[in-house]
Amino acid sequence: MAIQVLARVAATDAYLNVVLDTVLDEQKLKDPRDAGLVTELCYGATRRRMTLDTVLRKFADRSLDTIEDRVLAALRLGVYQLFFMRVPKHAAVGDTVDALKAVGLERAAGFVNAILRRVSELPELPKSDGDEIGRLVYDTSHPAWLVKRWLRQFGPERASAMLAADNDSPPVVIRANTSKVTRDELFAQLTEAGVACRPATLSPLGIVLDSPGRIEELYGYREGLWQVQDEAAQLVTVFAQIPANARVLDACAAPGGKACHLAQTNEVVAIDVHANKLPKIDAESKRLGLRKRLTLERADASKPLPESLGEFDAVLIDAPCTGLGTLRRHPELRYRRQESDIAELSHLQREILEQCSLVVKPGGLLVFAVCSTDTAEGPDQIEMFLRSHPDFTTEPPKGLSALPTWQGHLRTLPGPEGLDGFFAARLRKMY
């Protein structure tokens, strides 16, 4: 199954989590441990892909680019088991070959078996013999351009911590739906229902689930008591500190976590350029009992907004970005992103900021956020906007000193804190 998932991700450029969820739903595995193993194999082999490929190149008699997707997926899964899982070497090799035969590739079984057997003779994962950049690329499986960029922006210690954290499994965090229940009430109810969990460290609405299994079967899901949302993503809306009952525009609403968070206390107009993404927000808001507080509409926030939308007390821009702060959740992104994407997406972000600033009422709030660690998409973006918009000023929220901030803005970074990387700025329109 893991071979099919990785091959499909490679062939279609789809997101790993989407393909994995689809395949798991199709296969309907009875034992949750089997689903857990497939998940570990798929995410682990993807996170460590550059490391695995470096090892494979030493033993393969052909370029990896010429190997069929499913065969290459099997090789990566085999090497991942050999060096990153507690699997006996003979089992790692034998099970991988058997899995390849199970997907109808008996003809490649000998080729894969030969390579994995030779790799299994290594006493341990080979060490990098390159310079600092090469070592980090190999050890953490990140492209060289990103390693260099993070070293320059954050320094060796923090950059190394970020690179390492991207290879950790992220926790499952939920946000209490405060239109129905408080965080403390939900925590007590989950604990009573036998769900292993703990309050999030920074988000006042967050609860971290330990080994949750199938989310849809947990207490409170059907009742709409909570929604899955990473703690750092929750902090964006907490940091925004938008007054209750304000009329709010969520300008880039998909997949809908922040729109539903805002709708717990506000009237929200949620727009997105992709009409096909709106039904998911619709379904989630209905499950949470928030649909009456949400207006959904297809609109491109980088273009002049429909006059029918009017003006807003607050506008949240969760802008399209490189997603460099979410590489532990979307490990395939690190291999797809190019450094040139940063400039291209920064230009789009500026267009969205320009258009959305026009619909903020005087005295209202403009909140800009990205799930990226890059300064070009965060602090630099806001500095450029403020230079050309003297009617806006930075206004940090009050009473939230415990949140991780930088120059008055919210900033979370991957690392030992266990958070995704987010940036958010809170701006006030003075006139």
The set of catalytic residues is: 371
* Cis, peptide link before residue 304, omega less than 30° from 0: no
Report d(CA 284, CA 217) in Å as an integer: 16
- Classify 426 as helix, strand or coil: strand
Report d(CA 357, CA 203) in Å as an integer: 28
Report d(CA 150, CA 156) in Å as an integer: 8
Which structure tokens are listed for 29? 């595995």
The amino acid at 331: P
Helices within 103-228 (DSSP H only) = 109-120, 132-140, 144-165, 183-192
Going 208 to 214 to 216 to 218, the CA torsion angle's sign is negative
Task: Read off the DSSP letter of residue 360.
Answer: E
Report d(CA 364, CA 315) in Å as an integer: 8
- Classify 293 as helix, strand or coil: helix
Give the containing element (helix H, strand E) for 298.
strand 294-298
